[in-house]
Each structure stands twice: as C-alpha cells, then as structure tokens.
Amino acid sequence: MHVRLQTIEKQLEGLGEIQSRLTMIESSVGRHDSELTALARQIDDLDNRSRRNNLLVRGVEEEEFEDEAVLLSKVNDDIFDKLLDSKCSSIERIHRLGKKIPGRSRPVILKVGDFRDKTKILKNCRNLKGTQFSISEDYSKRVVEIRKQLWISSADERAKGAKVKLIIDKLKVNNVLYGWNEVTNERFRYASPGITSSD
C-alpha cells in the first residue's frame, strides 16, 4: 500500500511538472500569437502605404485589343479631363485588374506620381454622379473588408440622414469616430474623437 502511494505521489508530481510546462507553452503561444497579429498589422499598413498613390476607376468600357495608350486616353482624356476638369500629367502606370471576363469591363488601376493629382481627382469625383464611372482609393483586402462592414453597420444612420463618411478603416457618423473589431465583428466607438488615421 505504501509503495502504491509513493507511485501515485510521483505520478502527481510528474503531472504538476507537465501542468507547469503546459502553462509556459500556452504563455509562449499567446505571446507569439500577439506578435504575429502585430506583424500582420504592420504588413497591412505597409501594403496600404504602397497603394497610397493608386486609384481604382470602374465603369470604363473594355475593348478586345486594348493597350496602355488607349486605356490612358480613355481615363485621362475622357474622364479626368472632360468630366472632372483634372487632367493628370503624372500617371506612372495604368492597367486593368484581374482576368478578362467576356461581357464585363474590368476595373482600371493607375498610379499617379504626384499625390496632389490624386487628391484633386478624388475631390472632383462628385462630378461623376449620374455617369457609369466611379473612382475610389486602392486599399488592402483587410481594409476593404473593414470598410464594407462599417458601411453596412451604418445603414440605419444613413437612412435617418446622418452625415456618414469612411476614413480609411474608420467610420465617422455625425463627427463621432468608429472602428471595426475584427475579433467580435462589431463596430465600436473610439474614446478619443481626434483619431482619424489607420492603426
């Protein structure tokens, strides 16, 4: 009986050691998880910074044999110059996004060399109301999804006539700033009303 008790005590000591090691491992995994999340945020931030001078243009009819010069003329001359009175001389790159789909026009992405050109174009986008064209900023997949969720979450406020505006990955409703919690999938209100940039 005494031998059995000693054996059980040794086994319990072993379990205690295992429990202690398991706690250390869980703590380590938690730290790594936090570090991974922080790194993912940094990568997303860098991705969005690299897209800073990009614009997406939707509604531009796609021709079967369209080259860069034709596309540039359609966007810069027909839209930016004629509709927005903002001809852009600093377009560095322009092309269609995605694979060709018969019967559908793919969006156009372009990069401007001068951020002021981008700002001027976006400022004049209200002139596109009632046309087939739309122009927007280029964001990472994560930010696009957050913006979508924030916009959906503001449907009632927009229906009631509230002033609603998306600012990168934030939502401003009547001068109150909100963000999106990606873990709980819920909108939250920022404590400080002065926060307007991406995390």
Residues 162-187 as b or e (16 or more Cβ within 10 Å = b): eebebeebbbbbeeebbbbeeeeeeb
- Give me 103's structure tokens: 């019967």
- pLDDT tens string for the chain (199 positions)? 777 877 887 777 778 788 888 899 999 998 999 899 899 999 999 999 999 999 999 999 998 889 999 999 999 999 999 999 999 999 999 999 999 988 899 999 999 999 999 999 999 999 999 999 999 999 999 999 999 999 999 999 999 999 999 999 999 999 999 999 998 999 999 986 555 544 4
pTM of the predicted model, to two decimals? Answer: 0.74
- Give me 138's structure tokens: 């280029």
